[in-house]
Amino acid sequence: MLTPTSILETVCAYYDVKTRDLRGPGRCQWLSLPRAVGMSLTRDLTSMSYPRIGAFYGGRDHTTVIAAVRKVQRMIAEGAAGSGRVSLLVEMTEIREALAAGEPVFERRRLEDLREGLVRQIAGLERALRGLPSPEATRAA
């Protein structure tokens, strides 16, 4: 059986945030999506009521939980994606799979993504220093 704590920990591992931040009083924009996803998954995967979920996520009102669940549903329906990020539906699917497997580990994937991005940036800097055109510019020509 999934618990709200296991869902919270998995969401925190996925988005690389601290549990105390999601349960805390902070209203920063960078916390709003992970918190909404956590609330929505808690609602979908447990039998907890909106008031109990709100209490679990730092004493928030049940209407806040309802708004978070609706926000996530709306973003999925619209196919919303953050700048350069995978869609929310894909993110939630990955989190659900990790919960089902009982392994909330996303560090390896994050490190591989980071390494790949750094390699591209370094290659771009080297080309710029040599005065070479980017691969995109040569393809267009």
pLDDT (tens digit per residue) in 58-67: 999 999 999 9
Residue boundaries of the structural domains of the chain: 4-105, 106-141
> What does residue 27 show for φ and ψ, rounded to 5 degrees?
-120, 25
pTM greater than the 0.75 cutoff: no
CATH 1.10.8.80 assigned to domain 4-105? The reply is no
pLDDT (tens digit per residue) in 14-54: 888 899 999 999 888 889 989 999 999 899 888 999 999 99
CA distances from 11 to 46, 73, 77, 111, 128 (A): 15, 17, 20, 17, 39
Res. 91 pLDDT band, cuts 50 70 90: confident
Q: What is the dihedral of CA 76, 33, 49, 90, to 10 degrees?
A: 40
Phi-psi domain of 18 (left: phi exceeds 0; alpha: psi -120 through 50; beta: other): beta
